[in-house]
């Protein structure tokens, strides 16, 4: 997610675009300092459990332990701290690990996970991460990025264009690409109002622009803000980690549950039916539903053969 040190840049951009008065700018600047003090810097680097994960749920295991002729599917994860899984306490809770094992079980083939995501990355850093995997292109790439862009000097259009370029480079190599679009930063309680509302509007606008850019480049977009922000808003103690900023194991699990069917679809391996159209912004009533009900609603649409 976003770096707390960059909140001031979001205020500057908001003030430039919206013509904030000096008093309003001072209020938001003070709120950003307050949020930075509460959140603080990351206590540690993200955990890592790269390697081959088996359909049985075991992993990572050495490649030499695979049966002769068994070639794992190569999965690379790119993006920011949410892609890297910052905030969990155990390797099994990492989003990349959950997805690698879920994918292996679904397609019944070992999955080799490589994580290139870096804490603090914006869309400007994606080109370097794409370079890192392009020498030996994987079959599937997952990208989660955008929250840091909200608090950087990048505009929505520029950020979306950079993401689209990264997806286009990968799809041109025959790589299937799935993108989890920018989460709703309005769910982060340590950011006070009205700064939180500014961050929310910006992140939602970026998510919409990202979806357009990703689909135009041949990738698959999963609108994480639309699908997950109600849960983070109504159950923050469960869905955020102890820093109240990055997702907890439960938050990453909810995201993985939504990303996995789309990743299978991108590979032509989803057996649950066609994916539904991306949902519109959740209503207030939907915001009170637990994640299991949202997932059940998606699954019912899948099995009905929705759009």
Question: Model confidence over 98-140: pLDDT tens digits?
Answer: 999 999 999 999 999 999 999 989 999 999 999 999 999 999 9
Percent of the chain clearing pLDDT 70 (strictly above) = 72
List Cβ neighbours of 18 (8 Å cut-off, separation of 6 or more). Answer: none
Q: Which residue has the higher pLDDT, 44 or 170?
A: 170
In this prediction, residue 43 carries a pLDDT of 55
pLDDT > 90? residue 245: no
Of 9-13, 199-203, 240-244, the range with the highest mean pLDDT is 199-203
Q: Is 48 exposed, middle or buried (0-12, 13-18, 19+ CB in 10 A)?
A: middle
Q: Which residue has the higher pLDDT, 246 or 113?
A: 113
Q: Which domains does the chain have, with CATH numbers?
A: 4-304 (3.40.50.1110)
Whole-prediction pTM value? 0.78
Q: Which of 32, 53, 81, 248 is catalytic?
A: 81
pLDDT > 60? residue 33: no
CB 232, CB 184: distance < 8 Å: yes
In this prediction, residue 307 carries a pLDDT of 34
CB 31, CB 191: distance < 8 Å: yes
Indicate if 81 belongs to the active site.
yes
Tokens of 141: 């790439």
In this prediction, residue 45 carries a pLDDT of 82
Banded pLDDT at 235 (limits 50, 70, 90): confident
Rounded Cα distance between 3 and 8, Å, is 10
* Residue 231 CA: distances (Å) to CA of 110, 113, 164, 180: 32, 28, 28, 16
Indicate if 246 belongs to the active site.
yes
List Cβ neighbours of 103 (8 Å cut-off, separation of 6 or more). Answer: 73, 75, 111, 140, 260, 263, 264
Rounded Cα distance between 207 and 213, Å, is 10
pLDDT > 60? residue 6: no
Give the max Cα distance, the chain.
Answer: 69
Rounded Cα distance between 111 and 101, Å, is 7
CB 282, CB 226: distance < 8 Å: yes
Mean pLDDT over each residue of the chain, to the nearest integer:
79
CB 148, CB 111: distance < 8 Å: no
β partners of residue 178: 142, 220
Residues present in the chain in total: 307
- Which candidate, 281, 214, 279, 216, places its Cα nearest to that of 79? 214
Q: Which of 50, 243, 248, 282 is catalytic?
A: 243
In this prediction, residue 191 carries a pLDDT of 74
Q: What is the pLDDT of residues 250-288, one digit of tens each?
A: 999 999 999 999 999 999 876 655 554 444 433 333 333
Tokens of 143: 């990208």
CB 179, CB 168: distance < 8 Å: no
Indicate if 243 belongs to the active site.
yes
């Amino acid at each position: 997610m976003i770096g707390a040190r960059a909140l001031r840049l979001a205020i500057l951009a908001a003030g430039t675009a919206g013509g904030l008065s000096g008093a309003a700018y001072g209020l938001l600047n003070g709120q950003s300092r307050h949020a930075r003090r509460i959140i603080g810097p990351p206590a540690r680097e993200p955990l890592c459990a790269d390697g081959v994960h088996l359909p049985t749920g075991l992993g990572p295991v050495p490649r030499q332990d695979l049966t002769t002729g068994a070639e794992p599917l190569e999965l690379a994860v790119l993006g920011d701290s949410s892609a890297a899984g910052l905030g969990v306490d155990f390797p099994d809770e990492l989003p990349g690990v959950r997805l690698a094992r879920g994918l292996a079980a679904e397609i019944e083939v070992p999955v080799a996970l490589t994580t290139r995501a870096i804490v603090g990355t914006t869309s400007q850093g994606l080109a370097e991460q794409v370079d890192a995997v392009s020498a030996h292109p994987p079959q599937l790439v997952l990208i989660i990025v955008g929250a840091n862009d909200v608090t950087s000097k990048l505009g929505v259009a520029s950020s979306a264009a950079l993401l689209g370029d990264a997806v286009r480079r990968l799809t041109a190599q025959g790589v299937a690409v799935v993108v989890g679009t920018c989460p709703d930063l309005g769910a982060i309680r340590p950011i006070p109002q009205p700064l939180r509302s500014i961050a929310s509007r910006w992140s939602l606008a970026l998510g919409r622009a990202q979806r357009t850019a990703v689909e135009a480049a041949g990738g698959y977009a999963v609108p994480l803000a639309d699908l997950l922000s109600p849960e983070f808003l109504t159950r923050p103690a469960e869905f955020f980690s102890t820093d109240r900023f990055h997702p907890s194991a439960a938050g990453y699990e909810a995201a993985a549950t939504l990303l996995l069917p789309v990743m299978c679809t991108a590979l032509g391996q989803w057996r649950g039916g066609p994916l539904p159209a991306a949902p519109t912004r959740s209503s207030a009533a939907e915001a009170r539903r637990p994640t299991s009900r949202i997932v059940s609603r998606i699954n019912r649409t899948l099995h009905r053969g929705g759009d």
